[in-house]
């Protein structure tokens, strides 16, 4: 029988975007086992309402606890974090939880021009969580908030032509990138899917523009919570079990492609 320390960490996203978080988690916590669940049958979340996303998130957490006995959970989806993390903390007070949010704070620390672009789903940008974060920082920088309808879905469906077209459309809509006053010198990728469009985005913005995603802070927070709860696994190499509400074959193919 598996001990409590050997129990897996659950990682959840609407699709394959959370693999970008899983990759960093595995590097930070190599002895841990993980269960990655992609809710692809109900994706994308980014253009649905909060109530729908919250109910799907709650259902997924119940499944991960009932079927996999997870010892901690990483909600590797900005939209699900914004819509439901407060509900999960109330309903699962015994479960260490880590959510993701657009990296506005690190962007403020890095930006020299004080003008920061934020690419995210429409639901994330409209969320109370993002608004509160924005309001707390708006005196320190100017944020250009860009909803990116369809981009996560295009990445999920492996449509490189559409990904390139949407990246070009949304970066152009945000205005001038660069290191001169008034230009955007820092771009926050506010959806875990967007890490998989890093090369496309980097090619579209001016040289010197910093791109920021959230994987490393999430992994560090996961380690801190496990240490605080005496839940860190011992030595050895952990594994990953993949679960999908859609095509498991497609999820495994994506994992092979993006986790290497």
Question: Domain check: are 120 and 201 in the same one?
Answer: yes
Per-residue model confidence as pLDDT tens for the chain (260 residues): 456 788 999 999 999 999 999 999 999 999 999 999 999 999 888 878 889 999 999 999 999 999 999 999 999 999 999 999 999 999 999 999 999 989 999 999 999 999 999 999 998 899 888 999 999 999 999 999 999 999 999 998 889 999 999 999 999 999 999 999 999 999 999 999 999 999 999 999 999 999 999 888 899 999 999 999 999 987 777 899 999 999 999 999 999 988 87
What is the per-residue pLDDT for 238? Answer: 84
Active site residue 148: no
Return d(Cα 25, Cα 164) in angstroms, integer.
28
Of the candidates 99, 101, 83, 141, the one whose C-alpha atom is nearest the C-alpha of residue 117 is 141
Whether 4 is covered by a domain: the verdict is no
Q: To the nearest 10°, the Cα dihedral for 41, 43, 48, 54? A: 70
| Whether the predicted model's global pTM rises above the 0.85 cut | yes
pLDDT at residue number 6 = 85
For residues 177 and 247, membership in a common domain is answered with: no
**Residue numbers of the domain that contains 28:** 9-100+215-258
pLDDT of residue 2: 57
d(CA 78, CA 121): 8
Q: Are residues 198 and 144 in the same domain?
A: yes
Q: Which one from 29, 54, 77, 152 is the annotated catalytic residue?
A: 77
Residue 129 forms part of a structural domain: yes
* Residue where one domain finishes, among candidates 212, 230, 248: 212
- The reply to whether omega before 141 is within 30° of 0 (cis) is no
Kindly report, residue by residue over 18-61, the tens digit of the pLDDT: 999 999 999 999 999 999 999 999 988 887 888 999 999 999 99
Of 60, 90, 43, 52, the closest CA to residue 191 belongs to: 43
Active-site residue (options: 145, 191, 195, 205): 191
pLDDT of residue 202: 97
Is 136 within a domain?
yes
- Which residue stretches of 175-247 are H helix? 198-204, 215-228
Contact assessment for residue 9 and residue 222, using Cβ atoms and an 8 Å cutoff: yes
Q: What is the DSSP string of 136-154?
A: HHTTT-EEEEEE-TTHHHH
Q: Do 158 and 223 have their domain in common?
A: no
77 in catalytic set: yes
Looking at 175, 191, 212, the residue that finishes a domain is: 212
Domain count of the fold of the chain: 2
User: How far is the CA of 82 from the CAs of 60, 103, 124, 198, 237, in angstroms?
Assistant: 16, 13, 6, 23, 32
Q: Please report the pLDDT score of residue 1 as a whole number.
A: 43
Whether residue 82 lies inside any domain: the answer is: yes
């Amino acid at each position: 029988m598996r001990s409590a320390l050997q129990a897996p960490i659950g990682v959840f996203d609407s699709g394959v975007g959370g693999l970008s978080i899983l990759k960093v988690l595995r590097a930070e916590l190599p002895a841990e086992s993980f269960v990655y669940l992609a809710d692809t049958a109900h994706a994308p979340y980014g253009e649905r309402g909060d109530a729908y996303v919250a109910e799907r998130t709650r259902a997924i957490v119940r499944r991960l606890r009932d079927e996999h006995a997870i010892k901690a959970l990483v909600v590797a989806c900005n939209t699900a974090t914004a819509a439901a993390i407060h509900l999960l903390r109330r309903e699962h007070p015994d479960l260490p939880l880590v959510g993701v949010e657009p990296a506005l704070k690190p962007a403020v620390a890095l930006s020299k021009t004080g003008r920061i672009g934020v690419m995210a789903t429409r639901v994330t940008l409209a969320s109370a969580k993002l608004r509160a974060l924005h309001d707390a920082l708006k005196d320190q920088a100017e944020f250009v908030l860009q909803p990116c309808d369809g981009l996560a879905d295009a990445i999920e469906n492996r449509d490189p032509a559409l990904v390139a077209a949407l990246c070009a459309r949304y970066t152009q809509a945000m205005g001038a990138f660069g290191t001169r006053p008034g230009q955007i010198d820092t771009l926050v990728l506010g959806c875990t899917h967007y890490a998989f469009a890093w090369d496309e985005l980097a090619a579209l913005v001016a040289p010197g523009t910093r791109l920021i995603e959230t994987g490393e802070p999430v992994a560090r927070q996961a380690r801190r919570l496990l240490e605080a709860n005496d839940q860190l696994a011992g030595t050895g190499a952990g594994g990953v079990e993949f679960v999908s509400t859609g095509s498991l074959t497609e999820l495994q193919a994506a994992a092979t492609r993006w986790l290497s």
